[in-house]
Structure 1
Amino acid sequence: MPSIQERLRGSITPVVTPFTADNRVDHEALKSLIEWQIASGSHGISVTGTTGEPSSLSLEEREAIFRTTVETVNHRVPVLLATGSTNLEETLRLTHTAEQLGADAALVIVPYYNRPSQEGLFQYFTTVAASTTLPIVLYNIPGRTATNLEPATLKRIGLKAPNVIGVKESNRDFEQVTKVLHMMGRDFLVYSGIEALCYPMLALGGAGHISATANILPREVADLYNLTARGEWEKARDLHYYLYPLNDALFWETNPGPVKAALGMMGKIYPRLRLPLAPISDAHRQGLREILMQYGLSLREEAP
């Protein structure tokens, strides 16, 4: 069997958390989304990351989503479960659950709202890593957490916690990405978490991407990785620019608002968000609909 470092590459889709009209987690819709992702060539599945609205979910809901995901995937592609929160004990519990359920790896975000120091991040992540045998991918998203995980801190973490095998960088600072790969080694898994930067991240030596756009165009987002893996960089560059209008539109408002609106238009889910997130504006909904039509997607006559 290939190692997890070899398997955990490509387009790992951060699947949305679908809700029913009465605001419960829609596990049947989640199963359907996962099946569609796998059939479309996505290389992995992730749930309850940013696109999955984790801060709007109870611990029990997140654990139930983990279980549905692992059972539905059934070892066909790697499963990366997002287990992080602002509370260490919650993160430890969710990471333990992920391990017990048979996840391939855990995605652990820089704690948001707390604004920890670099020493605090070092102690937090090494504590989480020491609690599990799971491979750990750290998640650095300064725009959401107000804290940047510095490369030097990541290096310290890696030296103490060898099961930390990668980082999702939702970071526009490409100098940092280069520093991470230089300091951690070129076999360290670095994923792009910014949709418009997936292609250049691959050029730097990234392992793939965890892109919200894959919820809408899973085959094309997976092909962006496939083309570069085959050395077809010019075709990949063309695909990068082809995807750009949708990459842009899906972030006109806070993720996953536009993504869920698009999936609703496509008939994939009931596009409910949990407060404090609210449905996107009518103007953005109309603009998003026009963008989706440009990609030839089959849409409902009217968005729900």
Structure 2
Amino acid sequence: MTTRLRGVIAPVLTPFTGSLAPDVERFIAHCEWLVGNNAGLAIFGTNSEAASISVAERKSLTEALVEAGIPAAKLMPGTGACALPDAVELSRHASELGAAGLLTLPPFFFKGVSDDGVFAYYAEIIERVGPGCAPIYLYHIPQFSHVPITLGLIERLRKRYPTVIAGAKDSSGDWANTKAMIDNFAADGFDVFPASESLLSMAMPLGGAGCISATVNMNPAGIHRVYAGWQGADAPELQARADAVRKVFQGGYMIPAMKHALATYANDAPWRMVRPPLAPLDSSTRDAIDAQLQAIDFSMPGYPRA
């Protein structure tokens, strides 16, 4: 039986070479560091630049992680796609490798689609992958997908596929929506992950499952301390420390900012590579981020340096 993922999960940054190919060696090393700091791996999430990574590249990188000894029980690959056959192929591949879960976007080109259409999309994935389908975590990020995961849709999918529809990542930024997901479905085994560690202190007492947050890439140990210690006397201090790190990166340039910081702290300039249409940061923005990180005494203990 697949072990359910809970806790702190990173939408893993994807390193690229100078020719913009995925950098497998750096990818594996980054994932090993994250796992070593109690993080799960939502490879090919939004902050992985997943929309810029092909189906073949995603499959190859997932295989590379498993071959390198990363436990499949730590993996929640992103398998959503505009094209249903791509979503099925990615979901089947990750399931066959033993991934603990699938983080599955709704199709995100057509706007104004009905719950019936989105239900059919997820149903087709589950039916086509078949009995071996890994647990699916619905990815609610309407500001990008423009296709919401509504409470009614969750209820319908849970009723039809109670053992496959396992939870959701709520990236809406709307705490009221996250709370409604938890209040309505968590008691029935539906795991809700807010997309920011800043919500952990509110989500965990209600039955939240953890968080799937971009800045786990930078601060896995600190965020895990918030998750594990939310009932402790020092919980407010732990939350404040994690929030201070997140504040540095949560501007509109989050991906290149985190990659810049990785390049700096790993002494490894190629980490700054992003795939178009994203672009590296200009020098003034890099300097501002460096100053903010120094001001909060930020560090990445144990990160492999070049």
TM-score, normalised on structure 2? 0.88
User: Which consecutive unaligned segments of at least 5 residues does structure 2 have?
Assistant: 302-306
Q: CA deviation at 1:195?
A: 4.1
Equivalent-residue separation in structure 2 for 1:137 and 1:98 (angstroms): 13
Map Cα deviations across residues 52-105 of structure 1 (whole Å, 9 max, x no partner).
111111111111111122333443752111111111111001111111222111
Deviation sequence 1:249-279 (CA, Å, 0-9, x none) = 2121244221111111112552101000111
Give ranges in structure 1 of 5+ residues lacking alignment.
300-304
Which of 105, 130, 133 does residue 101 from structure 2 map onto? 105
Matched, 1:142 2:139: no
Partner of 1:192: 194
- 1:239 matches 2:238: yes
Aligned to 2:304: none
Q: Flag the 1:146–1:282 CA change in 2: closer, same or farther, 3 A.
A: farther
Please give the residue correspondences for 1:112-127 in structure 2 after superposition, counting only pairs within 5 Å.
Answer: 112-115=108-111, 116-127=113-124
CA deviation after TM superposition for structure 1 residue 171, in Å: 2.0
State how far apart, in whole Å, the 1-side matches of 2:43 and 2:20 are: 18
Q: Structure 2 CA distance, aligned partners of 1:185 and 1:40?
A: 26
Which amino acid in structure 1 is aligned with residue 43 of structure 2?
V
- SS of residue in 1 equivalent to 2:76: strand
What are the equivalent positions in structure 2 for 1:9-88 lying under 5 Å apart?
A: 9-42=6-39, 44-75=40-71, 77-88=73-84
Contact 2:248 2:293 (C-alpha < 8 Å) held by counterparts:
no
Decide whether the 8 Å contact of 1:70 with 1:102 is kept in 2: no
The one-letter code sitting in structure 1 at the alignment partner of 2:15 is P
Q: Give the deviation of 1:207 after TM superposition.
A: 0.2
Q: Separation in 1 of the partners of 2:191 and 2:300?
A: 35
Deviates more, 1:21-30 or 1:238-247: 238-247
Of residues 127-136 and 72-81 in structure 1, the stretch that sits farther from structure 2 once superposed is 72-81
1:213 matches 2:215: yes
Contact 1:38 1:77 (8 Å CA) reproduced: no
- 8 Å CA contact 1:110–1:141 kept in 2: the answer is no
Residue 167 of structure 1 aligns to a residue whose secondary structure is strand
The aligned counterpart of 1:222 is 224
CA distance in 2, matches of 1:140, 1:297: 31
Root-mean-square deviation (CA), in Å? Answer: 2.0
Q: Report sequence identity in percent.
A: 27
- Which amino acid is the alignment partner of residue 203 of structure 2? M
Distance of aligned partners of 1:265 and 1:137 in 2 relative to their CA distance in 1, 3 Å threshold: same
Match of 1:302 in 2: none
How far is the alpha carbon of 1:129 from its aligned partner?
Answer: 2.3
1:292 is matched with 293
Work out which of the residue numbers 86, 89, 92 in structure 2 matches 1:93: 89
1:4 corresponding residue in structure 2: 3
Please tell me whether the aligned partners of residues 23 and 274 of structure 1 are also in contact (alpha carbons under 8 angstroms): yes
Q: How far, CA to CA, are the matches of 2:201 and 2:274 in structure 1?
A: 30
Query: 2:72 and 2:170 mapped to 1: Cα distance?
Result: 25
* TM-score, scaled relative to structure 1: 0.89
Following the alignment from structure 1 to structure 2, what is the Cα–Cα distance between the partners of residues 205 and 21? Answer: 44
Give the partner amino acid of 2:23: D
Structure 1 runs (4+) deviating above 6 angstroms are none
Q: How does 1:278-289 map to 2 (within 5 A)?
A: 278-289=279-290
1: distance between equivalents of 2:106 and 2:279?
25
Query: 1-side partners of 2:104 and 2:226: how far apart?
Result: 25
Deviations 1:128-169 (A, max 9, x none): 222332111111011211232111111111111221110001
Q: Which residue of structure 2 aligns with residue 128 of structure 1?
A: 125
Higher mean alpha-carbon deviation, 169-178 vs 215-224, is at 169-178
Q: Tell me if the contact between 1:245 and 1:291 (Cα under 8 Å) persists in the aligned partners.
A: no
SS of structure 1 residue aligned to 2:60 = helix
Which amino acid is the alignment partner of residue 20 of structure 1? T
CA shift, 1:48, in A, is: 0.7
Aligned CA distance change for structure 1 residues 166 and 153 (closer, same or farther; 3 Å): same
